[in-house]
Amino acid sequence: MTDALKLGFGPFAAPGKGVLIVFCDDALKFGVATAKVLGSALGSATGLVARAAKAERFTGKSGSSLDLIMPEGLKVGRLTVVGVGKAADLTAKDFLKLGGIAMGKLPASASDGVVFADLPGGAMSAEQAADMAQGARLRAYKFDRYKTRKKDDEKPPASRAMTVATADVAGARKAFASRDTTAAGIELARDLVNEPANVLYPEEFARRTLALKKVGVAVEVFDVKAMKKLGMNALLGVSQGSAHDGRMVVMRWNGGKKGDAPLAFIGKGVCFDTGGISIKPAASMEDMKGDMAGAACVVGLMHALASRKAKVNAVGLIGCVENMPDGNAQRPGDIVKSMSGQTIEIINTDAEGRLVLADVLWYAAKRFKPKFMIDLATLTGAIIVALGQEYAGMFTNNDELSHRLHLSGEATGELVWRMPLNPVYDKMLDSKFADMKHTGGTRWGGAITAAQFIQRFVADETPWVHLDIAGTGFDSRMTDINKSWGSGWGVRLLDRLVADYYEK
Ligand code: BES
Ligand code: MN
Ligand code: ZN
C-alpha cells in the first residue's frame, strides 16, 4: 500500500521543480551526464558543490548526503548529492539501495523528485536504473490505512512522482516491468504481515489469496471439513481453540514445461499466536499478528512469479490457523495423529507452527512430488537468539539447495545461514506415550529440535529446506529499502533463486 507514487523514467535534464538527487563518489566526482547538466545550470558543476561539501565536511562516503537548498541556476527547491563511496565497488543490490536512499530524500512535502542514474564510471545500465526504481518503490511503501487523523501539514501531496533519469529510457522501462511486479509481490506480503489479526484471520487470509487468480494462479481453499478428510489433525489441533476456523490454501503457477515437477513453497500462517493453553506473557504479544510472515512470503512470491510469467512450475501452500486458548483448545499431553500417520504428544501448545507445517509439508510432498520444498516459518525465538535479525536460519537435507540459497542470499541481501540437522538431536523428541513429542523439552538448541521435528514430515526424501524467519519476517532492522514492520522478507530471495537456477 503506497500513496499514489508515480515511478517513471526520463532523459537527463534539469527538472523545473521539486528535488534533484545526484550521485558522486568519494573523490566528489560526478558522472558525465550529471556534470553536464549541473555544469550548464550552476556555471560549474563542482564549484558550488565543492564549497558546500567543504562547509559540511561531506566527502562522498557511501550512504552520506549533502543538501543544497534552492541552488541558484537550478529551478529545483533542493539539490541532494548522495555519496556512493567507490563507484566501481557497487553490486546489483547496491543499486536497489541507492534507489531507496533517493526516495528517502524526497521530503514528505515534495511531490516531485528526479534522480540521475549516473555515476563517475559512466551512466548506469538500464538494469541498474530499473533496480534503482525498484528500490525507490520499496522504500516508499507505507502501511497507514488505519491512520485516520493526519494533520493537514502531515498529509503527503495527493500524488508523488519519482523519475529516474537515464541514458536508455526505453531499456530501463522494459527492465523495470518485472521488477515492478516483484515489488508488488513484496508489498502484498508486507500488507498481509502488517494487518491486525482481527482483520486477517484464516478465512480472510484465504480470501485474499483469491486475488492471485487475476495473475493466472490457480487457487484452492481447503476448509476444516476438507482437512479433516485428509487427516490433517496436527494442523487442526492447533486451530480447534479458535472461533475462527483454519484454512489451507494451495496456489499453483504453471509457467514451465507441462509435466515438469513443480517447486514447492510452504508457509506457516499462524494469524495470531497467543501460545494457546501454554499462553505467552503479555509483553509484545501484539507482535504475534505477524506469525504468518512465512505464509505471506509464499503468497507474495507466487504473485511475483506469476506476474512476471516465470518459466517454471511452482506451487505455494499455506496453513492458516489461529492459536488461541479456549474451552475447546488443545491441551499439553494431548496426542494427535498427523496426516503422515505418526502420532505426536503435545508438550507446549506454544510450539504450534511445527504442527501446522507437519501436515502441510506431508501433503505437499505426497500430492505434488516436487523438485524441492522450501518452507518459511516464524518458528522459534531460539533462532533469534542464535542469529539476531540479520540472517534467517536455514536447515536442509540438500547441499546443492543450501549452496544456491546462500548465493541468492548474498545477491539480494536477504541472508541465510545454515544450521545443523543431525539424528543425534532425535532423542530429545522421544515421547513416553506417542511416536514423538513435538518439543525438545529444554531451551537448548530450540531452533534445531524444531527443524529436526519438521524433517520427520518430509515424505519420500524430498529435497527440502526449512527457513526459520522469526528474526527477519517482522520487526526486523529497518533498511534503505524497507521501513515497514512487516518486511516481506524472502520474496526477493526466492524469486532470485527461481530466476537464477530453475527457469529454462
Ligand atoms: N511464533 C513463535 C516464535 C516467535 C517468537 C516468532 C518471537 C517471532 C518472534 C512460536 O510459535 C513459538 O512460540 N515458539 C516457541 C517454541 C517453544 C515453546 C518450544 C519459542 O520459540 O519459544
Ligand atoms: Mn507459538
Ligand atoms: Zn508461532
What CATH number is attached to the domain comprising 242?
3.40.630.10
Tens-digit pLDDT profile for residues 207-220: 999 999 999 999 99
Cβ of 336 closer than 6 Å to ligand 1, yes or no, is no
The pLDDT of residue 48? 85
Question: Mean pLDDT across the stretch 176-195?
Answer: 98
Give backbone dihedrals phi and psi of 199, rounded to 5 degrees, phi first.
Answer: -95, -50
Least confident of 143-157, 163-177, 460-474: 143-157
Spatial neighbors of 448 by CB under 8 A, at least 6 apart, are: 382, 395, 419, 420, 421, 425
Domain-embedded: residue 175? no
Q: What is the pLDDT of residues 356-367, one digit of tens each?
A: 999 999 999 999
Taking the centre of ligand 2 as the mean of its atom positions, its distance from the CA of residue 225, in whole angstroms, is 24
pLDDT tens per residue, range 411-447: 999 999 999 999 999 999 999 999 999 999 899 999 9
29 is catalytic: no
The number of the ligand nearest the C-alpha atom of 287 reads 1
Is the CB of residue 382 below 6 angstroms from any atom belonging to ligand 1? yes
Given this model, what pLDDT does residue 45 score? 62
Which among 407, 419, 421, 367 is positioned nearest to 494, based on CA atoms? 407
Q: Are residues 122 and 235 in the same domain?
A: no
Catalytic residue among 97, 139, 289, 354: 354
Residues 132 and 223 in one domain: no
Q: How far is the CA of 353 from the centre of ligand 1 (A)?
A: 8
Q: What would you measure as the largest C-alpha separation in the chain, in angstroms?
A: 84
Considering 29, 36, 280, 337, which one is annotated as catalytic? 280
The preferred substitution site among 271, 376, 379, 429 for testing ligand 1, maximizing ligand atoms within 8 Å of CB, is 379
What confidence tier does 2 reach under pLDDT thresholds 50, 70, 90?
low
Residue 351, C-alpha cell as written in the block: 510450539
- Burial string for 60-87 (b: 16+ CB within 10 Å, else e) reads bebebbbbbeebeebebbbbbbbbbbeb
Number of domains in the chain: 2
For residue 172, is it within any domain?
Answer: no
Show the domain range for 157.
Answer: 5-167
**Cβ-contact 485, 143 below 8 angstroms:** yes
* Gap from CA of 106 to ligand 2 centroid (Å): 40
136, 167, 198 - which closes a domain: 167
In a shared domain, residues 312 and 212: yes
383 Cα: distance to centroid of ligand 1 (angstroms): 9
> What pLDDT score does 92 carry?
87
What would the grid cell of residue 25 be?
A: 563518489
> Nearest bound ligand to CA 446?
1
Residues 155, 156, 158: CA angle, nearest 5 degrees:
110
- pLDDT of amino acid 150: 76
Which DSSP category does 481 fall into?
T
pLDDT attached to residue 110: 77
Domain final residue pick, 117, 143, 167: 167
280 is catalytic: yes
Q: What is the mean pLDDT of residues 32-38?
A: 94
pLDDT tens-place string over residues 39-85: 888 876 668 889 999 999 999 999 899 999 998 899 999 999 999 99
Query: Where does 332-459 show beta strands of DSSP type E?
Result: 335-337, 343-345, 372-377, 391-396, 415-418, 436-437
β-strand partners of 476: none
Instruction: Say if ligand 1 is within 6 A of residue 353 CB.
Output: yes
48, 163: one domain: yes
Given a cut of 70, whether residue 3 has pLDDT beyond it is no
- Domain boundary residue among 140, 167, 194? 167
Residue ID of nearest Cα to ligand 1 atom 14: 380
